[in-house]
Structure 1
Amino acid sequence: MDEFVTGLLAANADHAAQFDSRFDAVQDGQAPSAVTVCCSDSRVLQDAMWENTEPGQLFSCGNIGNRVIQDTASGPAVSGDVLYPIAHTGTETAIVVGHTGCGAVTAAYEDLTNGLDEPAGIEHSLGLLKPHLAPGVERLPEDLSREAAINRLVEYNVDRQIEHLRHSDDVPDAVTTIGVVYDFQDQYDGKRGEVHVINIDGEIDVDALQAAHPEIDDRIERLWEY
């Protein structure tokens, strides 16, 4: 057995010893307070970023590009992974978590500007991002570095995912939609690993967001108000 996998199994044994009784309250069902849609990048610690150690508290989804959109026979729709807790467990908060230096956003940017040759599965995933990112690429200021351009598109992508949630007939109006960026590259003010709120229910104006949510005004920050 691979040594790393052996280590994972040992860590899981410790986890099981600590968590045994914590599953009692969720044996027969779940009612998570929020669904989070994170990028599956290995640097994005989906539960650890919230210090979440309680089973049943968060419904965590992950994919490259933190997408809420999937293709169906009848056209684009909110992914079933994201929609399930909203439709079946009473969850009324959806959080889209982008991150600095996102590889999926980078690949979509490169494909839109220079073209890429990716395996079919990756190309399909990028194809769900590119139509929504293309207008953002066109709006980028010309004097930006490649890194700065990509991190602005990270915000733009989060905004588009929030927009899709808000415009979907499958998502009730009562659901609060929040867009954030997880920063491990010192792009925002604050410590590495902090989450910065960039969008609440479609509002992206920092001043308006801070006025409406003074309790978290120091966590509201954007790189790009386009």
Structure 2
Amino acid sequence: MTKGQSPSIVYIGCSDSRVAADTLFGKGPGSIFMHRNVANTIPEDDLETATVIQYAIEGLGIRDIVVSGHTYCGGIDAVLQNYDGLGQPIKRWLSPVNDIYQENKSYIDGLSDPYLKNRALSQLNVLNVVRKINNMESVVNARNNSIPINVYALLYLVENGTFVDLEASS
């Protein structure tokens, strides 16, 4: 551990304490370069996530990026249940998720079960984050230089401890 790290993947996920990526993937310390935040989202001006991705690619030589949302996400529920009543800075942070919700409102609101609404918005959020990562300068530059960068979209099911592949990998 003192000689440095050699992670094989970057994990972009939620801060939720029920979702410990290293444990869920069966990996030990130093094997996953993790970046976690509320609702695993990426605002348009998110310098922190862009820096994490760039350092992972250029500094650590990582080629695989995993984006994972999860069921029963509190950040997703905040958007679904009370976005307009949220205070700052959480409202600003969750604005990309709210944008996705507004774009898909008729579909999501048409679901009768709150679990299904949360799951649907979580999945759409993951797909949006994958799109943003694929358009990041460090990812585009690596691919333009024939460095394969793989981005995977997953949803962690808290209820049974499994991952679902959203089949949007690139």
When the two structures are superposed, what TM-score results if normalisation uses the length of structure 1? 0.64
Q: Does structure 2 retain, via aligned residues, the 8 Å contact 1:35–1:91? A: yes
CA gap 1:105/1:141 in 2 versus in 1, 3 angstroms: closer
Q: For residue 69 of structure 2, what is the amino acid of its counterpart?
A: G
CA gap 1:150/1:90 in 2 versus in 1, 3 angstroms: same
CA RMSD, aligned part only? Answer: 2.3
In structure 1, the partner of 2:11 is: 36
CA gap 1:81/1:119 in 2 versus in 1, 3 angstroms: farther
Q: Larger radius of gyration, structure 1 or 2?
A: 1
In structure 1, the partner of 2:75 is: 104
Q: 1:184 aligns with which of 140, 158, 169?
A: 158
- Equivalents in 2 of 1:170, 1:82: separation in Å? 7
In structure 1, the partner of 2:136 is: 168
Report the 3-state secondary structure (helix = DSSP H, G, I; strand = E; otherwise coil) of the residue aligned with 2:84.
Answer: coil
Report the 3-state secondary structure (helix = DSSP H, G, I; strand = E; otherwise coil) of the residue aligned with 2:167.
Answer: strand
- Equivalents in 2 of 1:31, 1:122: separation in Å? 33
CA gap 1:82/1:108 in 2 versus in 1, 3 angstroms: farther
CA gap 1:168/1:81 in 2 versus in 1, 3 angstroms: closer
Query: Comparing 119-128 with 98-107, which one deviates more in the overlay?
Result: 119-128
Percent identity between the aligned chains? 22
Report the 3-state secondary structure (helix = DSSP H, G, I; strand = E; otherwise coil) of the residue aligned with 1:170.
Answer: helix
In structure 2, the partner of 1:58 is: 32
Q: For residue 100 of structure 1, what is the amino acid of its counterpart?
A: T
In structure 2, the partner of 1:47 is: 22
In structure 2, the partner of 1:128 is: 96
Q: Does structure 1 retain, via aligned residues, the 8 Å contact 2:43–2:93? A: no
* Residue 60 (structure 2) pairs with residue 84 (structure 1): no
Report the 3-state secondary structure (helix = DSSP H, G, I; strand = E; otherwise coil) of the residue aligned with 1:164.
Answer: helix
**1:119-154 superposed Cα distances (whole Å, 9 cap, x missing partner):** 312112112322233212233362432221121111
CA gap 1:141/1:68 in 2 versus in 1, 3 angstroms: closer
Report the 3-state secondary structure (helix = DSSP H, G, I; strand = E; otherwise coil) of the residue aligned with 1:140.
Answer: helix
Q: Does structure 1 retain, via aligned residues, the 8 Å contact 2:71–2:115? A: no
In structure 2, the partner of 1:195 is: 163
CA gap 1:143/1:178 in 2 versus in 1, 3 angstroms: closer
CA gap 1:82/1:129 in 2 versus in 1, 3 angstroms: farther
- Equivalents in 2 of 1:155, 1:143: separation in Å? 14
Q: Does structure 1 retain, via aligned residues, the 8 Å contact 2:50–2:136? A: no
Q: Does structure 2 retain, via aligned residues, the 8 Å contact 1:61–1:81? A: yes
In structure 2, the partner of 1:15 is: none
Q: What displacement does 1:118 show?
A: 2.2
Q: Does structure 1 retain, via aligned residues, the 8 Å contact 2:155–2:164? A: yes
Report the 3-state secondary structure (helix = DSSP H, G, I; strand = E; otherwise coil) of the residue aligned with 2:166.
Answer: strand
Q: How many matched pairs?
A: 164
- Equivalents in 2 of 1:48, 1:137: separation in Å? 34
Please, which runs of 5 or more residues in structure 2 have no aligned partner?
Answer: none
- Equivalents in 2 of 1:109, 1:44: separation in Å? 21
Please, which runs of 5 or more residues in structure 1 have no aligned partner?
Answer: 1-22, 186-191, 203-226
- Equivalents in 2 of 1:110, 1:83: separation in Å? 35
